[in-house]
Amino acid sequence: MSPPVFRFAPSPNGYLHLGHAFSAMLNDGLAREAGGRFLLRIEDIDTTRCKPEFEAAIDEDLAWLGIIWETPVRRQSEHFACYRAALEKLAGLGLVYPAFESRAETARLVAEREQEAPWPRDPDGAPLYPGTARALAPEEQARRLQSGASYALRLDMAAACARVGQLSWIERGKGPEGESGSVAANPAAWGDVIIARKETPTSYHLAVVVDDALQGITEVVRGLDLFWSTSVHRLLQALLGLPQPVYRHHGLIRDASGQKLSKSTEATGLRELRAAGVTPAEIRHRVGLG
């Protein structure tokens, strides 16, 4: 049997903090324990917010923690062609449509709907897509595309779900309500998610699924904040005919006041802690892996 394959997949849009250290060390430790492989993937599809200096800092911080990863590192910005191929496959199934509303327009539509009744939110708390672009007449759609208007490509969630039926995943960690074992996926809770944009042939969801398959990832170990995203990932895997890894979502490290850590909170930044003389062993202890 081939060894299990783990990955740590940060976005270089800021400096790493204790939460990243926990996730990376947990992945690395589980890989070692299982005689598996450990890969680093740089999730930099957002080319405006991701910066080479943040990527360099990721390497530096992980090496300082004593983590060893395989090279070459997969950098998502270098693989847009792979994501485009997956996107075309979904489009070929008739599951993708362009939505032309700007963020402001979308917000206005939601506000309008909310005058009648509360508008449904996705698991992250964002309102579901309230627009009607899916029903746009083909001529009107063609006219807008030709006009050079900006758009997002959305997944026709109802049609996608109807195609694959009920899905589930194996959870080795714990969900927000203690879910574990076989968890029923509920992609419909996300509405018509964005899977690409006019200028970028992918989204986080699409790239992560394509890459996990291409890199042969068998164990996805990541933060609890991504637990319900797994529903969308399972749906895309099923639509694209990709294998499914097992998942282990871990708790998030919080600051002294119980808040989720952010990349800009210096008190828990790995480079600040290093500069203050904290050792990797102390970091390990602080995140509960000591």
Cβ(257)–Cβ(250) below 8 Å: no
Among 67, 183, 208, 283, binds ligand GLU (CB under 6 A): 208
224 interacts with ligand GLU by CB under 6 A: no
Q: Give the β-pairing of 37-42 and 246-250.
A: unpaired
Distances in Å between the Cα of 52 and the Cα atoms of 12, 58, 64 are 7, 10, 18
Q: Please name the residue that has the structure tokens 């595309």.
A: 145
9 interacts with ligand GLU by CB under 6 A: yes
We find the least distance from the C-beta atom of residue 77 to ligand GLU, in angstroms, to be: 13
User: Which tokens hold the place of 22?
Assistant: 């926990």
| Beta carbon nearer to ligand GLU, 164 or 252 | 252
- CB-CB neighbours of 43 under 10 Å: 19
Q: Please name the residue that has the structure tokens 């324990």.
A: 33
Cβ(91)–Cβ(113) below 8 Å: no
| Beta carbon nearer to ligand GLU, 110 or 270 | 270
173 interacts with ligand GLU by CB under 6 A: no
We find the least distance from the C-beta atom of residue 20 to ligand GLU, in angstroms, to be: 8
192 interacts with ligand GLU by CB under 6 A: no
| Count of residues interacting with ligand GLU (CB under 6 A) | 7
| Beta carbon nearer to ligand GLU, 58 or 90 | 58
Task: Report the alpha-carbon distance of residue 154 to residue 133 in Å, rounded.
Answer: 9
28 interacts with ligand GLU by CB under 6 A: no
226 interacts with ligand GLU by CB under 6 A: yes
Contacts with ligand GLU, residue ranges (CB under 6 A)? 9-11, 43, 208, 222, 226
